[in-house]
Amino acid sequence: MLYGDFNNWFAAFAFWVFKYYGYENLKLINRGRRKWLDEDRIISNGTVVIPKGKFDLAESFKPDAKIRVYLSDIKDSLVSRRRFQIRLVDVRSPPEYTGQITSPPEYPTEHAHRAGPLPEALNIPCTQVLNDDGTFKSAELSDIYQSRGILPSIEVITYCRIEERSSH
C-alpha cells in the first residue's frame, strides 16, 4: 500500500515504477496521507520492524515496455505520421506549461531544465483529475480527456517535470 503528500504525487510515481517492473499487488490510498489524517485514523511514530527478505529485481521482474516512453519515441512521434496518432499531455500547472515558472510552488528549488511545453502538447493539469478533497475523479475523467481530443483509440504520453504528477 502506497501513500504520500501533495495528493500522492510521489506515491503515484512509486506505484508506476512498481508497475513498470511487473509488480501487480499494489494499492494507492485515494487522497493519500491527508485523507488518512482527516479521517482521524490511527497513526504511529514507532519504527516498523520488517524481516529481511530476498528481492532480486533482475531475476523476478522484467520491465513493461508498453508503459514507458523514451526521448527517441517523442522525437519520432513529432516527425513521423505517428504524430497524428499520439497526444502529448503536459500535466503541470498552467504557469509551468506556459513557461512563467519552471517549478511547482511546492518545490521552488527543483526547476525544470527548460521552461514551457513540448511541441503540440496539450495542458491538462493533474489537479483536473482530482476532486476538491484530493480524491481521484472517476466518471468525469473521460469527459475531461475527450473534450480535449483524447480518445481511447489514441496513444497518450503524459509528462511533467520529473514524472511525479504524470504518474497520476
Q: What is the pLDDT of residues 31-67, one digit of tens each?
A: 888 888 888 998 889 998 988 877 666 666 778 888 8
- Grid cell listed for 154: 489514441
Residues 6+ positions from 167 with CB-CB distance below 8 Å:
9, 12, 13, 15, 16
Q: What is the mean pLDDT of residues 95-99?
A: 94
Catalytic residue among 160, 166, 167, 168: 160
pLDDT of the residue at 83: 58
- Grid cell listed for 46: 514507532
160 catalytic? Reply is yes
DSSP assignments along 95-141, one per residue: HHHHTS-SS-TT-TT---SSSSPPTT-EE--GGGGB-TTSPBP-THH
- Grid cell listed for 158: 503524459
Closest CA to 127 of 92, 99, 156, 102: 92
- Structural domains of the chain, with CATH: 6-60 (3.40.250.10), 66-159 (3.40.250.10)
pTM: 0.81
Rounded Cα–Cα distance for residues 26 and 13 (Å): 12
Give exposure, 32-70, as e/b (b: 16+ Cβ within 10 Å): bbbbeeeeeeeeeeeeeeeeeeeeeeeeeeeeeeeeebe
Question: Where in the chain does DSSP place strands (E)?
Answer: 86-90, 122-123, 155-159
Closest CA to 43 of 3, 87, 6: 3
pLDDT for residue 142 is more than 90: no
Report percent pLDDT > 70 for the chain. Answer: 93
Residues 6+ positions from 16 with CB-CB distance below 8 Å:
67, 163, 167
Give tens-digit pLDDT for 125-141: 988 888 888 888 887 88
